[in-house]
Structure 1
Amino acid sequence: MTDIYDVTIIGGGPAGLFSAFYSGLRGMRTKIIEYQPKLGGKVLLYPEKMIWDAGGQPPVLGELFAKQLVNQGMTFQPTVCTNEKVDLIEKDENQNFLLTTHNGNKHYSKSVIVAIGGGIIQPRPLEVEAADRFVGKTLHYTVNDLRQFRDKVVMISGGGDSAVDWAAELLYIAKQVIIVSRRDKLSAHEALVKRLESSSAKILLNSRICGLAGNEGMIDQVKLENIHSGDMMMEEVDHLVVNHGYNRDSSFELAENLSLEMKDDYFYVGNAQGYTSEDGIFAAGDILTYDGKINLLVGAFQDAVNAVNSAKTYLEPSAEKVAMVSSHNKAFDEQNKKLIREMLR
């Protein structure tokens, strides 16, 4: 017998996890399919970043915020499938959606919410010979623990927002911060750039990394080339953080009888209620574009609520358009009693 879910959410980031929470609140049988081995999405790339712009949430480290998102998303115990990439979406003879993943697994669902954000995120690697031998020790594509850089010489390759942001945070931790960019100026937020320019950071523009020297995973020196003059120089470093952006993959194809309108060959065109151009397929978060779109965490959460509500009424046209607020919702009665008992101990 085919196991059919009310809604299958593709993507386990903020939009996908809040969709799972809200669909559970609405009594929908829910599944999440996530390509990465862990839930949390892009937030996991910045575990040491402080998040300030989530409503009602005090400033919180990305790592903790991701854990909180996952805990909330699991409130109603959705089925979770990690390490699975959706390759194809089609419809079966009963008009249910059939999602086939890269390993041949088949998932059946009455509706779908696409919440893949910027797609399957893979950091662009440093294209330097033998760079792989330093990855995980002194060559980093993400920063999981700032303490490893204390009193060290840290080079950051990249001139965009993320690279400059890391450089600014490391000013008070590292012994020396060196930032390298191929461009003739840093392209990050103006306030961050000014902060770096007025600091002790060493900024090397019009330069690229062309070689690494070291042993047993430990970088000793980085070889740089001026892209205009061709001049070479060596910089002694302890750690190298590479932030050259990310490759993204929108994850799946559609059967010929299904169609999703797209913008810029990636984003799904829809509306604020989470509808796309294909009945039964909804979207939430960065993957969805519409007039008035807010590309912030708060926007992802609103998208998730709207997509779930639309999926619910798609399946049950007579259903309420929105769920009852949590303070009065019977779905939380038992949890509330438990929490109150713990608080009164």
Structure 2
Amino acid sequence: MTSGTNSFFDVTIIGGGPTGLFAAFYAGMRDLKTKIIEAAPFLGGKLPYYSEKFLYDVGGVAAMTAGDLKLELEKQARTFEPDIVYSQLIERMERLEDGTFRLTSNTGETHLTRTILLAIGFGTLVTNKLEVPNAERYEGRHLHYGADSVEQFRDKRVLISGGGDSAVDWALALAPIAKFVGIVHRRNEFRAHEGNVVQLLNTAAHIMTSSQVKEIHGTNNRINMVTIEQLDTQEDVELEVDEIVVCHGAKPDLGEIKNWGLNIEQERIIVDAWMKTSIEGIFAAGDVVEYTGKVPGLIAGGFTEGPAAINQIKAYLNPSQEVKPIWSTEHAKLLSIHHGS
């Protein structure tokens, strides 16, 4: 890995999620010297957090787990050998006299680049906690805001709190292996995909709508029981459980990037159709952006926005040259890799 003040890059991609990884591959096709800077110690963005979940909305792939998609994206991104920096959160951006940028991370390390592509997803996600007395006592033990594997809940009594896609996905995944699955949601109806809700209704999961967790009861940091409040009647119901999975979502926070001078509305960076931000030389793509016609939350959208940004970066760096279309089927290096020539 090459980084630091003495190394210049054509484009530095901040964020190593799906959008950033595919953009890095496409930047390689465009012969751009590329660096990826990821705040986490691993690539893939949110994919590693639900690695066993199947995805069905990636074009050309009937079904693939998030974990497998992460591996394929990383393999693809490494095709043109970009620089990859882990565990650095970029905080400061300075424009130098020659128009290039100096980025400074939370570790104090600096990175020099001619352009920037922000592919930071929703930024730092601040988890919405379960707001009941003493909940923190059980966090990381038997109260979970995420989990590595469904297997840790095999033969357990599990309560899921939430009504979105993540909550319903967990209920469907645990229904075949857990001793008991309950799902509690404040509203009358779930906010998850309709097809998944129909599947949930056909399982043995105990569904409690218009309800919320009121109290957690346990001994020695183990959960024995929860009190569920029925919001319409104010009646309380006690339920024996071993584990609680909280799926209340998270609030986005762009952190220090909010101080860069970008046009930002409601934690989204405003871009045009070519993914240009309000600062010349800085582009953005993926969940972090907002523009007319944006389809939010779709991985495939980032796969289009990333290349759109890279094409404009190529034009920005070479204003006197026409940026012509490029296809992988005609790329010399890719042809040599797969045809041995």
Q: 1:36 deviation in Å?
A: 1.6
TM-score, normalised to structure 1, is 0.88
For residues 127 and 103 of structure 1, the distance between their equivalents in structure 2, rounded to whole angstroms, comes to 33
Q: 1:299 deviation in Å?
A: 1.2
Aligned amino acid, residue 334 of structure 2: F
Count matched residues: 336
Instruction: Name the structure 1 match of 2:302.
Output: 300
Q: 1:77 deviation in Å?
A: 1.7
Q: Is residue 315 of structure 1 aligned with residue 322 of structure 2?
A: no
For residues 140 and 258 of structure 2, the distance between their equivalents in structure 1, rounded to whole angstroms, comes to 37
Q: Is residue 140 of structure 1 aligned with residue 144 of structure 2?
A: yes
Aligned amino acid, residue 200 of structure 1: A
Q: 1:87 deviation in Å?
A: 1.5
Aligned amino acid, residue 282 of structure 2: I
Preserved CA contact (<8 Å) 2:258 2:264? no
Q: 1:132 deviation in Å?
A: 4.2
Preserved CA contact (<8 Å) 1:211 1:224? yes
Instruction: Name the structure 2 match of 1:262.
Output: 264
Instruction: Name the structure 1 match of 2:197.
Output: 193
Alignment of 1:156-305 (within 5 A): 156-214=160-218, 218-227=222-231, 230-253=234-257, 259-263=261-265, 265-295=266-296, 296-305=298-307
Q: Is residue 72 of structure 1 aligned with residue 76 of structure 2?
A: yes
SS in 2 for 1:301: helix
Compared CA separation, residues 36 and 326, structure 1 to 2 (3 A): same
Aligned amino acid, residue 172 of structure 2: A
For residues 240 and 30 of structure 1, the distance between their equivalents in structure 2, rounded to whole angstroms, comes to 43
SS in 1 for 2:237: strand
Preserved CA contact (<8 Å) 1:90 1:254? no
1:149-199 CA distance string (max 9 Å, x none): 333322101122221232233323323210112234333333433443454
1:109-157 CA distance string (max 9 Å, x none): 1000011111122432333454445444432222432233333322101
Aligned amino acid, residue 11 of structure 1: G
Preserved CA contact (<8 Å) 2:252 2:267? no
Q: 1:205 deviation in Å?
A: 2.8
Q: Is residue 104 of structure 1 aligned with residue 105 of structure 2?
A: no
Instruction: Name the structure 2 match of 1:93.
Output: 97
Compared CA separation, residues 191 and 52, structure 1 to 2 (3 A): closer
Preserved CA contact (<8 Å) 2:37 2:88? yes
1:212-251 CA distance string (max 9 Å, x none): 3445654332233345655443311232111011122113
Preserved CA contact (<8 Å) 1:42 1:121? no
Compared CA separation, residues 59 and 197, structure 1 to 2 (3 A): closer
Instruction: Name the structure 2 match of 1:59.
Output: 63
Preserved CA contact (<8 Å) 2:14 2:120? yes
1:276-306 CA distance string (max 9 Å, x none): 2221111111112222323322211010111
Preserved CA contact (<8 Å) 2:329 2:335? no
Aligned amino acid, residue 308 of structure 1: I
SS in 1 for 2:239: strand
For residues 324 and 301 of structure 2, the distance between their equivalents in structure 1, rounded to whole angstroms, comes to 17
Preserved CA contact (<8 Å) 1:123 1:243? no
**Unaligned 5+ residue runs, structure 2?**
none
Compared CA separation, residues 84 and 160, structure 1 to 2 (3 A): same
Q: 1:101 deviation in Å?
A: 1.7
Aligned amino acid, residue 332 of structure 2: K
Aligned amino acid, residue 306 of structure 1: A
Preserved CA contact (<8 Å) 1:284 1:307? yes
Q: Is residue 151 of structure 1 aligned with residue 155 of structure 2?
A: yes
TM-score, normalised to structure 2, is 0.88
Instruction: Name the structure 2 match of 1:324.
Output: 326
Compared CA separation, residues 83 and 57, structure 1 to 2 (3 A): same
For residues 221 and 310 of structure 1, the distance between their equivalents in structure 2, rounded to whole angstroms, comes to 57
Aligned amino acid, residue 121 of structure 1: L
Preserved CA contact (<8 Å) 1:47 1:143? no
Compared CA separation, residues 328 and 187, structure 1 to 2 (3 A): closer
The alignment's C-alpha RMSD in Å is 2.4
Instruction: Name the structure 2 match of 1:41.
Output: 45
SS in 2 for 1:111: strand
